Structure 1
Amino acid sequence: MFPKPIEKSSRSVQIGYQSMLPVALILWLLPLIAVALFSVKPAADFSTGDYWNLPSQFGGWENYGKVFFESDMPRYLLNSILITVPTAIGAVALSCMAGFALGIYKFKANLWLFFMFVAGNFVPFQILMVPVRDLTLDLGLYNTKTGLVLFHIAFQTGFCTLFMRNFIKGLPFALIEAARVEGVAEWRIFVYVVLPLMKPAIAALMVLIFTFIWNDYFWAVVLTQGAESQPVTAGITSFNAQYRAAYHLMSAGAIVAALPPVAMFFLMQKHFIAGLTLGAVK
């Protein structure tokens, strides 16, 4: 029923696995390697059509210097932080409360409300592009960081609630019953009993939501324009000239934009893995 561990396979299968693993890893990393290579190539290499050879000279200092000091990239990075951090905090906070209500309390509409949260995750975002844009225009939130934050919180809360509700369902209900017997108020049960047990799940969800929002490009283009409110994913396209794309600057910008999610993952790696694997082994 389950795949046989590679250690128990024949020697020929093990050798084939060990030889193909580096090849698969290189193929998987090839786009990232290409972007990193482009980011240190001088502009002259792209003018002559020399895309895939090694750089004729190292242009990394010049490329990254232009990205940081001769463009709006610092402003785009700041916009991404001001959009991503409040969104992650807001979505996780709302989902903790909604997950607690749906996971602990039993009422008639419980399952229907949970289905509504889940169903929202299956709506294709593309079909909402026009109505959401019109709504932000009517509310005066178009081309604002606040509008993008509110939109992301609204759409990410469904997935977060699904995650949190299932996590809370797995907690020992005896702890909550014991607190109720002692006369503890419901909000104190949530804050002092349930919330401390949710720390691994909160850490895992924060990393996921941070990465989702930081890497969002579609809604960043639909709901914002210009350096005053666009995040870094949309701001990288500003390196496109009218007749020629500055691939070396776009690649350098892409590497810079990828660093915060990577740093976030490594900082929260211990809690992230604990949150994902909690309950996997009894």
Structure 2
Amino acid sequence: MRAKKIVFYILATIIVLLWIAPFMISFFTSFKSMDELMLTRKWWAPPKKWFPSNFITAWKDANMGRYFLNTFIITIPSVLGALFLSSLSAYALAWYKFRLSKLILMIFVGGMLIPFQMLLIPVYRFSVSLGIYDRFIGVILFHIAFQLGFCTFFLRNFMKTIPASIFDAAMIDGAGHFTIYSKIVMPLVLPALAALGILEFTWIWNDYLWSLILIQSDKIKPITLGLVNLQGQWITSWNTMAAGAIIAAVVPLFVFLLFQRYFIEGLTVGSVKG
């Protein structure tokens, strides 16, 4: 038994080190000079001389202040819209009994299994035909649409754990459907909603694919596209690009650390009965 524990901890440590290695390399790279990066092969080693100025260069050269604002403009409405619409659809699929409920749920789940690469050309043509290409509203609407399936599936499973007697008592007291949804269901699934909100915020903030397809103007690009400005024509300043990537990762990391209690609570809610 002791040997199994030792083997388990050794394997777990190796996996953690392999997982965290790219982040440490990026962190060290962001503080190195280009001379050190070009002249040494020890790209995994800490810098011989630290250059915090790389972060200032990344912020100024990539115009990251504007890109941060654009990312917030895209991310916050997308997360709120996805959570609101998915909570409504999850409530309907969890508690309303109608003929096509299972089929609709299967469509939501099936949409999650379609590779995004298959949808690139249709989404691009559809956005152009609607006149929402290269606009904030276009990216926001498509983020909401593509996140709706997972969010609905996630929240519907949590809503199914709520005892039906609560709804029956509310109906007897004369509460309407929207009153039950807003006053009873939403407070009960708030931990799950918070956990889902953190996931959605992280995914949409870090999105690169849909922003690349739906945005062309530099003035509305998010931070993930803005980092491309740090890539030169003949040579790329990898230290500056690594610094910009770390700056871009600060916000989702801060959001997770700030709301991690709700995230853990949302993942474990319903795991213990009684």
Letter in 2 for 1:179: A
Letter in 2 for 1:101: A
**Local SS of the residue matching 1:143:** coil
Question: Which of 104, 109, 117 is the matching residue for 1:118?
Answer: 109
Cα distance in structure 1, aligned partners of 2:100 and 2:225: 41
- Counterpart position of 2:184: 193
- TM-score w.r.t. the length of structure 1 is 0.92
Cα distance in structure 1, aligned partners of 2:217 and 2:237: 18
- Counterpart position of 1:67: 58
Cα distance in structure 2, aligned partners of 1:152 and 1:248: 31
- Counterpart position of 1:162: 153
- Counterpart position of 1:4: none
- Counterpart position of 1:246: 237
Is contact 2:62-2:226 (8 Å) kept? Answer: no
**Local SS of the residue matching 2:219:** coil
- Counterpart position of 1:223: 214
**Local SS of the residue matching 1:59:** coil
Is contact 1:45-1:51 (8 Å) kept? Answer: no
Cα distance in structure 1, aligned partners of 2:5 and 2:40: 42
Q: Does 1:13 align with 2:4?
A: yes
Structure 1 residues 16 and 116, CA gap change in structure 2 (3 angstroms): closer
Equivalent runs, 1:5-154 vs 2, <5 Å:
9=1, 11-48=2-39, 52=43, 53-60=45-52, 62-154=53-145
State the Cα deviation string for residues 66-100 of structure 1 (Å, max 9, x = none): 12233311111111111111111000000111111
Cα distance in structure 1, aligned partners of 2:8 and 2:85: 45
Cα distance in structure 2, aligned partners of 1:119 and 1:70: 42
Deviation at 1:47, TM superposition (A): 4.1
Is contact 1:72-1:227 (8 Å) kept? Answer: no
Paired-residue identity, %? 38
State the Cα deviation string for residues 96-116 of structure 1 (Å, max 9, x = none): 111111111101111111111
**Local SS of the residue matching 1:228:** helix
Deviation at 1:45, TM superposition (A): 2.1
Deviation at 1:225, TM superposition (A): 2.6
Is contact 2:58-2:230 (8 Å) kept? Answer: no
Is contact 1:42-1:56 (8 Å) kept? Answer: no
Deviation at 1:204, TM superposition (A): 0.7
Cα distance in structure 2, aligned partners of 1:15 and 1:171: 41
Is contact 2:90-2:159 (8 Å) kept? Answer: yes
Cα distance in structure 2, aligned partners of 1:226 and 1:26: 40
Letter in 1 for 2:201: F
Q: Does 1:257 align with 2:236?
A: no
Letter in 2 for 1:137: V
State the Cα deviation string for residues 102-150 of structure 1 (Å, max 9, x = none): 1111011111111111111111111110111111112222222211110
State the Cα deviation string for residues 129-172 of structure 1 (Å, max 9, x = none): 01111111122222222111100001101110111111111101
Q: CA RMSD in A?
A: 1.5
- TM-score w.r.t. the length of structure 2 is 0.94
State the Cα deviation string for residues 197-228 of structure 1 (Å, max 9, x = none): 01011101101111111111111211113431
Deviation at 1:51, TM superposition (A): 5.6
Letter in 2 for 1:28: W
Gaps of 5+ in 2: none
Structure 1 residues 76 and 280, CA gap change in structure 2 (3 angstroms): same
**Local SS of the residue matching 1:243:** coil
Cα distance in structure 2, aligned partners of 1:169 and 1:265: 26
Structure 1 residues 102 and 17, CA gap change in structure 2 (3 angstroms): closer
